[in-house]
Structure 1
Amino acid sequence: MKTKSNKKKNHVPIRMNALFLSVFFLFSVLVLRLGYIQIVKGEEYKRTAYLTENVTTKLDAPRGKMFDANYRVVVDNEPVFSITYTRTREADTVKRHEIAKKMAELIDKDSEELTERDKKDYFIFLNEEEVEKRISAAEKESTPPEELYDLMLEKVTQEDIESLTKQQLEVLSIKSEMDRGYTLSPQRIKIGATKEEIALISEHLPELEGVDIKPDAERSYPFKDSFRDIFGQVKQIPKSKMDYYTSRGNDRNDMVGTSFLEEQYESVLRGTKTKIKYVTDKVGNPVGDPVEEDGARGSDLVLTVDMELQQEVEKVIEEELKEAIRGKYAYDNKELKNAYVVMMDPNTGEILSMAGKEYNRKSGKFNDIPFGNIYHSYAMGSTVKGATVLTGLHEGVIERNTVINDAPLKFGDGRQLKSHANMGPVDAVEALEGSSNIFMWHIAMRLSGYDYTNKRFNDHKVKEAFDILRNSYSQFGLGVPTGIDLPSEATGYNTGMSNELFQAMFFSIGQFDTYTPMQLAQYVSTIANGGLRMQPHLLKEIREPSVNPNKLGKLLYRFEPNVMNKIEMKPNHIEVVQKGFYEVMHGSNGTAAWIFKDKEYNPAGKTGTAEVDKETGLVNKTLVGYAPYENPEVAFAVVVPDIREGYTNNEIAEGVLDAYFSLKKEGIPTEPESKQTNENNEPR
């Protein structure tokens, strides 16, 4: 028993010694390896770590879509392929130029956006020695080194620029795009490359270092050119706005909205970018494969415009313009080419349609110019008389029952002024119904302190009359920004002040300052709804992007009606003008009753004619209104500039109102079908 116990004890130390020996050996190997890495290879690894860099680049994500008021897609993303160039730090300007020359032989690249400075820079690049020779020794000596290149630019002539060939300009256009991007950031050279271009580039990729073909998206428009200008454009950041966008976190090669709705709602439509992470060596070349993080599409816009109504309005404008230009009055209307229409909800400010057409007499075709409603201004004539009457009532120079004899006015200098017809005694309602100039002129004279009976000024207040009228008009949106949700708008032309009574008188009948069609629409909407100036807007909703084409994304924002101001006039004074507008379209002397008095939708409104050229008889014809009279749901403004003969303004107004109420009668949905839901399964 004793022997067995001793044997057992002898085995334990042997095993422990073997274990300690193994651990010691492994530890020694580890120490030696660490010593080798730290002492022998330490500096090398340190240099390697120091010379590598993590670089993150980004790619644009698809932009959000746009829908019309009935949730039909009006701006979409069409899958395309883009030719891109990714620059490395080794790719200097000479190397990029060589690649651009090769690419110019394989793809077509538009050079229209090249500036004169671009072309001068390129001429110097191609002919640096020649341009330097044009600088005299004295000029070199007197010019600081940092200003020498500017001097070289001055030596490049227009003849030099014109000497650049079409092929060279194409190379320049490609190289300009290549130069815009950051290192390792893919820069689009051409969006929407053709199949032939893709095949040629693919074939020559080995010799086109940095060039690649990537899937991309390009804006598409299911309703073609209709309203397309207002949707706006998407382009790479213009050089003129580079500082603006980069200061807001954009990259130099970003695609951004550059006009109208695309620009206005850039922050909403822009998606979350795809991120590509690289590890680069000391010269900036990628090491290993990049890591990519997916981005997300931008949010969607739902607009207030009904595209079916929009197309009907455009059709009406074309038909009536064509008739006025080619038909009965063709000889007289040689200058006529444009017409504009704005339709809006007077209670909410929603723009239902905004159309403009321009007739090209050479081609016989029409161009869409909806932007003319916010950028072009005209003398609008008698349509503004509603504001004049309300000003007179508010200032106390007339009362609701004031009667003025509409007979020619005669002044001491022999001048005689009259309405289009001698109407006799009229009150404010009758003055609006028959469009009495005399009534409005008496308001202006009284505001100016002029006593017509005694032919003298009791108090010369002509400039004060201008201030009163302009301030009053501005409450309706005339002569001031309407607030429409677009990047910019015109406010019309303020013709200034005058000491002449006659100028104040002509102001009161809309023949002094100029206004835009959008301002007219806001003005008549204010009268229609009882005195609230509503902000006109094109945005209805913002929604999250949806992965399901049959569903809308979650509602993020809904535009609530915005009252910009309430006019100072009393409700019973506004009713006088509303009644006058009703009689214009229904009364026995109504200037538009001949075309509107039997309409079921019961409209109210005011016609206008503004003299443009007295000798030739050229005028602007306008019409504003709303319907139905008792409960207005649509207000409108029609402007037909530079016309002599015909009633194109009335006929366009009839056509667009008929279209609106016809579509309503047909049951055009104002909301999507109940079976359709958003991403939260809520009825849309």
Structure 2
Amino acid sequence: MKKKKKKAQLPIRINILFFVVFLLFSVLILQLGVVQILNGEDFQEEIERTNLDTTSIPVPRGKIYDRNGNVIVDNEAEYSITYTPPKGVQAEDRLEVAEDLAKYIVMDDKDTLEGITERNKKEYWYLLNKKEADKRISAEDAEDMENAEVYNATLDKITEEEISDFSKQELEVIAIKKELDKAYSLTPQIVKNENVTTEEYATIAEHLDELPGINATTDWNREYSFGETLTSLLGSISSQEQGIPAGEEDSYLTKGYSRNDRVGKSGLELQYEDLLRGRKEQIQYTTKKDGTVIDSKTVVEGQRGKDLVLTIDMEFQQEVDKIVEEELKAAKKEHPYENQYLTDALAVVMDPNTGELLAISASHYNEETKEYEDSGFRALSDAHTPGSVVKGATILAGLDSGAIKPGQSFYDRPIEIKDSPTFRSYSTGLGSMTDITALKKSSNVYMFYVALRMMGENRYPFPSKEIPRFDSNTLQVLRNYYQQFGLGVATGIDYPHESTGYTGTSNSPGLTMFQAIGQYDQYTALQLAQYASTIANDGYRVRPHFLKEAREPIASQDELGPLYKTVNTDVLNKIDIEDNYLDRVQEGFRQVFQEQGGTAYSYFKDADYKAAGKTGTAEVGYYKDGKKLADTLNHNLIGYAPYDEPEVAFAIIVPYTGENSGNTSNHRIGRKILDAYFDMKENRDEESKDDNEEANAEEETEG
């Protein structure tokens, strides 16, 4: 008997599957209908949105204070009208904004209107007469040209007559559009920030909805509390028109700058740009495809730059500036026949123990304006022949190299060398000199013998009219010793640029001997100050610096914020010379200022603070336009005080004083600077004492 076949179930399963698919499609169709009918407009608006864009709003730079908490550089707020173009904005759109904005602000100052170029006028005329202008270039000619070439050719077809009769109102529109054209997408561009009136500011703020991209905000300019004092060293910042430096765009842009950001251009503003710049406020915009902003929110709160506290004492700085300028004026008055030469006086004052710069001053007489100018940067950049101030380094080189022994004496008489000028001291009556008295009385002959012996020439007295033995390495050996004190090398100062001086390129026995008395290589006032500080500081060469500390910004206008960074003493090197040799040079320097016969004794003998140092007069040529006009002199001075526990060191250079050796302005400047320093210190100590006594009395009363 045959079994019955089992009935297949497949058709039923397929039917079920088809039914499920039908239901799913029905749901999808229903959902699509809901999307299209109920939410279509909302979703279409969402689709039209672009990605979120973020723009950065500049913040005020950090302030700069002196060591006593006095504000040197502040920020002065001023009204500002800015333009932040949305994406895809066209020239026609900017023209429309400019025409609307011209109804509310005035742009008719002389500089603004004179800054309108012929091209600016042609571009304006083109936008007003686009159809007519485009016809001036045939389609056949345009085929072989790029779009930019067609545009430029079209502008060339616009005649002078067509752009010659714009009204004042139209010129203002052109001036505004010129500023709008500079803007980058989502980056604020200042349209007007000078002389924006309260009425203009308020009117713009009231009509912002009619002015796409325009904003009424606040900008800042640097304000100098002490006028011109120190400004040549503080440096400057760029205008928004200048923006970041040309050629350095990549470096700045990678750090988050915008192209039109104002940055430090020179001086300390440039040196400490990273601290002073602050943190920009970041605003996130949501825009439609047509560029319309539909939402914005602040994603990063802005914070102004960090505040700098300098080592400079501005009260003392002003006094030093006054002294330097007055003494330069007095020197010119005393020696009117030397006026063509007496144009500069330079001074650097620093703490020899820490490297803190207390004052840097340079007065320059401008022959064209007949005025004296603050040019403190010259103390870092201008190198001059130092003269006898380097003799301390020469004595130490001689002692350390074994060329001379402590206390060794030479009789100061002229040295005659074949085919060379006579090598002599400023006076023929100095007599027998030791290493210490040679410093005290500034014997050139003693230094000549140091150089001769370092060259391998040990004959004494040197035979007249002969040629000395000569080791060509000696000049470099001398320079190596000098470099330990900072002479001829970078001082390490925290400043964008400094000169390392001038190093002569020739070499001979005579030049080596001249180097020993400071009559060959040239140094800056800052290098000489570091040299003086190294001797005062028992052979430790410290890096000079302007920055004392950096502080976090706070809202208060009367106090500094929390400490962010402090600058500690940086010892660059300890001179590789025995301490007892340095003691002898320090004693020689003391005698220069404090003992009868010392070359600076008459100027410092009655000073309570007991200074030490070295005088220097250098014979130099005065050149102009590459031509030597005359033989002249540099009058220099270095020193420190008190000699036993130095707390201040200085260097003075008065270059090109003329042919008259009687100029004493270097001594007068040095004496007055030290007087001012110790007088201020005494007065401040008294004030501090009085304040403490008053505070103690109040505590006792409260108790």
Q: TM-score by structure 2 length?
A: 0.78
Q: How far has the Cα of 1:144 moved from its partner? A: 12
Structure 2: which amino acid aligns with 1:256? V
Partner Cα distance (1:461, 1:60) in 2? 62
Partner Cα distance (1:258, 1:673) in 2? 42
Summarize the alignment of residues 110-129 of structure 1 with structure 2, pairs less than 5 Å apart. none
**Which residue of 490, 494, 516 corresponds with 2:503?**
494
Hey, what does 1:636 align to over in structure 2? 650
**Which residue of 259, 262, 269 corresponds with 2:266?**
259
Identity among equivalent positions (%) equals 39
CA contact (8 A) 1:106 1:200 kept: no
Hey, what does 1:622 align to over in structure 2? 636
Partner Cα distance (1:109, 1:479) in 2? 50
Partner Cα distance (1:402, 1:564) in 2? 32
Structure 2: which amino acid aligns with 1:229? S
Q: CA 1:526–1:37 in 2, change beyond 3 Å: closer, same or farther?
A: farther
Q: CA 1:126–1:488 in 2, change beyond 3 Å: closer, same or farther?
A: farther
Deviations 1:438-483 (A, max 9, x none): 1112222222234553576775312x11211111111111111111
Partner Cα distance (2:689, 2:65) in 1? 12
Partner Cα distance (1:294, 1:526) in 2? 47
Hey, what does 2:303 align to over in structure 1? 296
SS of aligned partner of 1:547: coil
Hey, what does 1:665 align to over in structure 2? 682
Summarize the alignment of residues 60-209 of structure 1 with structure 2, pairs less than 5 Å apart. 60-92=58-90, 96=94, 106=107, 108=109, 178-195=180-197, 198=200, 202=204
Q: How far has the Cα of 1:268 moved from its partner? A: 1.7
Residues 1:356 and 2:370 are matched in the alignment: no
Residues 1:229 and 2:243 are matched in the alignment: no
Q: CA 1:284–1:384 in 2, change beyond 3 Å: closer, same or farther?
A: same
Q: CA 1:471–1:201 in 2, change beyond 3 Å: closer, same or farther?
A: farther
Q: How far has the Cα of 1:365 moved from its partner? A: 2.9
SS of aligned partner of 1:240: coil
Q: CA 1:93–1:596 in 2, change beyond 3 Å: closer, same or farther?
A: farther
CA contact (8 A) 1:341 1:638 kept: yes
Summarize the alignment of residues 273-352 of structure 1 with structure 2, pairs less than 5 Å apart. 273-288=280-295, 291=298, 294-325=301-332, 327-352=333-358
Gaps of at least 5 residues in structure 2 are 1-26, 127-141, 157-163, 623-628, 696-703
Partner Cα distance (1:230, 1:431) in 2? 38
Partner Cα distance (1:396, 1:333) in 2? 45
Partner Cα distance (1:641, 1:293) in 2? 54
CA contact (8 A) 1:71 1:672 kept: no
Partner Cα distance (1:592, 1:170) in 2? 66
Hey, what does 1:482 align to over in structure 2? 491
Summarize the alignment of residues 389-538 of structure 1 with structure 2, pairs less than 5 Å apart. 389-413=395-419, 415-422=421-428, 423-451=430-458, 453-454=462-463, 460-462=470-472, 464-496=473-505, 498-538=506-546
**Which residue of 365, 375, 398 corresponds with 1:369?**
375
Partner Cα distance (1:93, 1:35) in 2? 41
Hey, what does 1:556 align to over in structure 2? 564
SS of aligned partner of 1:409: coil
Q: How far has the Cα of 1:237 moved from its partner? A: 1.8
Hey, what does 1:581 align to over in structure 2? 589
CA contact (8 A) 1:601 1:627 kept: yes
Partner Cα distance (2:171, 2:403) in 1? 68
Q: How far has the Cα of 1:125 moved from its partner? A: 7.1
Deviations 1:128-183 (A, max 9, x none): 9xxxxxxxxxxx9xx9989999x99xx9xxxxxxx9x9x99999997776455431
> Structure 1 stretch 498-507 or stretch 383-392: which is displaced more?
498-507
Q: How far has the Cα of 1:377 moved from its partner? A: 1.3
Deviations 1:9-54 (A, max 9, x none): xxxxxxxxxxxxxxxxxxxxx9998443445688876664343121
Partner Cα distance (1:194, 1:39) in 2? 51
Deviations 1:205-241 (A, max 9, x none): 8997534331122221211111122222222323333
Residues 1:388 and 2:385 are matched in the alignment: no
Hey, what does 1:238 align to over in structure 2? 245
Structure 2: which amino acid aligns with 1:612? V
Structure 2: which amino acid aligns with 1:376? D
Partner Cα distance (1:562, 1:634) in 2? 17
Report the count of equivalent residues: 618
Structure 2: which amino acid aligns with 1:608? G
Q: How far has the Cα of 1:515 moved from its partner? A: 1.1
Structure 1: which amino acid aligns with 2:394? T
SS of aligned partner of 1:552: coil
**Which residue of 46, 50, 54 corresponds with 1:49?**
46
Q: TM-score by structure 1 length?
A: 0.81
Q: How far has the Cα of 1:86 moved from its partner? A: 1.5
Partner Cα distance (1:146, 1:609) in 2? 69
Partner Cα distance (1:208, 1:350) in 2? 53
CA contact (8 A) 2:407 2:436 kept: no
Q: CA 1:564–1:177 in 2, change beyond 3 Å: closer, same or farther?
A: farther
Deviations 1:295-350 (A, max 9, x none): 1222211111111000010111111111112x221222322121111100000000
Q: CA 1:355–1:609 in 2, change beyond 3 Å: closer, same or farther?
A: same
Q: CA 1:206–1:478 in 2, change beyond 3 Å: closer, same or farther?
A: same
SS of aligned partner of 1:401: coil
Q: How far has the Cα of 1:91 moved from its partner? A: 3.5
**Which residue of 187, 203, 219 corresponds with 2:222?**
219
Partner Cα distance (1:169, 1:524) in 2? 62
CA contact (8 A) 2:384 2:523 kept: yes
Deviations 1:27-84 (A, max 9, x none): xxx9998443445688876664343121111111222222111111111122211232
Q: CA 1:91–1:571 in 2, change beyond 3 Å: closer, same or farther?
A: same
> Structure 1 stretch 255-264 or stretch 335-344: which is displaced more?
255-264
Hey, what does 1:545 align to over in structure 2? 553
Partner Cα distance (1:243, 1:176) in 2? 25
CA contact (8 A) 1:581 1:604 kept: yes
Deviations 1:100-136 (A, max 9, x none): 7987961548689x9xxx98997997999xxxxxxxx
Partner Cα distance (2:450, 2:688) in 1? 44
Deviations 1:531-562 (A, max 9, x none): 00001011111222222333321122221101
CA contact (8 A) 2:417 2:468 kept: no
Partner Cα distance (1:121, 1:672) in 2? 69
Q: CA 1:144–1:612 in 2, change beyond 3 Å: closer, same or farther?
A: farther
CA contact (8 A) 1:180 1:252 kept: no
Q: How far has the Cα of 1:603 moved from its partner? A: 0.6
Partner Cα distance (1:123, 1:373) in 2? 48
> Structure 1 stretch 548-557 or stretch 627-636: which is displaced more?
548-557
Residues 1:571 and 2:571 are matched in the alignment: no
Q: How far has the Cα of 1:605 moved from its partner? A: 1.0
Partner Cα distance (1:555, 1:386) in 2? 40
> Structure 1 stretch 388-397 or stretch 43-52: which is displaced more?
43-52
Q: CA 1:458–1:88 in 2, change beyond 3 Å: closer, same or farther?
A: same
Q: How far has the Cα of 1:617 moved from its partner? A: 3.8
Partner Cα distance (1:127, 1:666) in 2? 70
